[in-house]
């Protein structure tokens, strides 16, 4: 997992664009090994995708492992699902991914190393907003 680095952009789910997404997952709820859905890398982030796959212990990526269209669709569905209130987003602690699912589908986007996603509702837990006089 990438450590926080200078130049890291922090965004909310609604602010994410396809350029922030290294990899997307779409499938039926349940097992995420790939048996119920598909992982696709963003073809515009080839070098990062190769480094990510290598870190995951996979060998070379094939053309079928990439889909610009899938990355766009999954991000759009995820944003719509959460914005509509139909599903609650789940966030990785480090902001490396965000996921949501309804009864039929599970969507996850894994972000590139330079972007992190934050849960807007957790802003009140930020120490910067901590007010000791309220205790
Ligand atoms: Zn499986």
Query: From ligand 1's centre to the CA of 37, what distance in Å?
Result: 9
Contacts of 82-91 with CB under 8 Å at 24 or more apart are 82/13, 83/14, 89/13, 89/119, 91/117, 91/118, 91/119, 91/122
Q: Report if residue 126 sits inside a domain.
A: no
Query: From the CA of 43, how far away is ligand 1's center (Å)?
Result: 24
pLDDT in tens, 33-59: 999 999 999 999 999 999 999 998 887
- 17 found inside a domain: yes
Give 30 Cα–ligand 1 centroid separation in angstroms.
8
What is the 33 CA–ligand 1 centroid distance (Å)?
Answer: 4
Confidence of residue 73 (pLDDT cuts 50, 70, 90): very high
Residue 64 maps to a domain: yes
Q: Is there a domain that residue 133 lies in?
A: no
| pLDDT for 120 | 85
Q: How far is the CA of 28 from the centre of ligand 1 (A)?
A: 10
If you write DSSP's letter for every residue of 4-69 in order, what string do you get? P-TT-EEE-GGG--GGGEEEEEEE-SS--SSTTEEEEE-GGGHHHHHHHHHHTT-----GGGB-HH
How many C-beta atoms surround the C-beta of residue 81 within 10 A?
19
DSSP code, position 77:
H
* Segments forming the whole domain that contains residue 101: 9-115
Question: Has residue 132 been placed in a domain?
Answer: no
Q: In the chain, how many domains are there? A: 1
Domain-embedded: residue 42: yes
pTM of the complete model: 0.84
The verdict on residue 128 lying in a domain is no
Q: How far apart are CA 108 and CA 64, in angstroms?
A: 18
Examine residue 131 and state whether it is found in any structural domain, yes or no.
no
């Amino acid at each position: 997992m990438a450590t926080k680095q200078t130049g890291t952009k922090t965004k909310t789910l609604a602010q994410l664009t396809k350029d922030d997404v290294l990899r997307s997952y779409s499938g039926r709820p349940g097992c995420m090994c790939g048996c119920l859905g598909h992982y696709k890398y963003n073809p515009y982030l080839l070098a990062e995708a190769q480094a990510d796959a290598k870190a995951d212990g996979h060998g070379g990526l094939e053309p079928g492992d990439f889909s610009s269209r899938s990355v766009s669709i999954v991000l759009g569905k995820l944003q719509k699902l959460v914005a509509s209130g139909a599903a609650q987003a789940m966030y990785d602690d480090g902001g490396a991914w965000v996921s949501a699912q309804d009864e039929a589908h599970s969507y996850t986007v894994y972000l590139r190393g330079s972007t992190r996603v934050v849960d807007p509702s957790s802003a009140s837990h930020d120490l910067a907003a901590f007010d000791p006089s309220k205790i």
